[in-house]
Amino acid sequence: MQQQKVIIFTTPTCSFCTAAKRYFREKNVRFTEVDVSRDASAARDIVRRTAQMGVPVILINNRPIVGFDQPTIDRLLNSTNLSMERTMTIQPLDDRVLAVPDNSTEEMTPGGLIIPDTAKEKPRTGSVVAVGTDDGLKEKVKAGDKILFAKYGGEEIQVDNVEHRIVQRSDILAVVKN
């Protein structure tokens, strides 16, 4: 089984940080804790990664989650884990890729109202899980790459209770570089 790299940026008085650490311990997921109240460079790092200063910030294989968002944590752990619990393997054919869409974060209006998921647009970026059999596509897109796809591109499917999209080459707009 592949172990994810998990880093949690915390402060000593943050109850959500404590809940996140407890959750990872209960799931037997190893993590590194970084106290941003004692490490100014770590505080600058989370601002650089997330464009905001708040804790906890959880990195799972360098993918940031702001706050203790258990469904997003589970999705990222499941999408990057090569555990024996997997029951289905999907290999896209021809010029298609299998991607896990990025989960949208909780959005709030300037007045403090939370925008429900049903009122938001679907994510247009995702992480590639598998690439089809087209050799030209394999040269340009690899598993682990982050891609930008067309607004209504891709066929939504569920793999081991995680949302995935099968996206055709013509619907892949770009490979997103950090």
pLDDT at residue 85 greater than cutoff 50: no
Tokens of 9: 């940026």
Beta pairing class for 146-149 and 155-159: unpaired
pLDDT at residue 34 greater than cutoff 70: yes
* Domain 6-80 sits in CATH 3.40.30.10: yes
Counting Cα atoms < 13 Å in the Cβ hemisphere of 110 gives 0
Sorted by where each begins, the domain ranges of the chain are 6-80, 96-176
Is the pLDDT higher at 64 or at 52?
64
The contacts of residue 80 (CB under 8 Å, 6+ apart) are 2, 4, 60, 61
- Separation in Å, CA 175 to CA 4, 37, 105, 165: 23, 35, 21, 16
The contacts of residue 135 (CB under 8 Å, 6+ apart) are none
The hierarchical CATH code for the domain 96-176 is: 2.30.33.40
Tokens of 81: 């884990």
Give residue-wise pLDDT tens across range 119-167. Answer: 566 668 888 888 989 999 999 998 888 898 888 788 888 776 677 889 9
| Average model confidence (pLDDT) across the chain | 80
- Residue 115: its pLDDT value, please? 60
- If you average pLDDT over residues 50-68, what whole number do you get? 85
Tokens of 17: 């940080």
pLDDT band at 10 (very low <50, low <70, confident <90, very high): very high
Q: Percent of the chain, pLDDT > 90? A: 14
User: What's the pTM?
Assistant: 0.46
CB 56 within 8 A of CB 17: yes
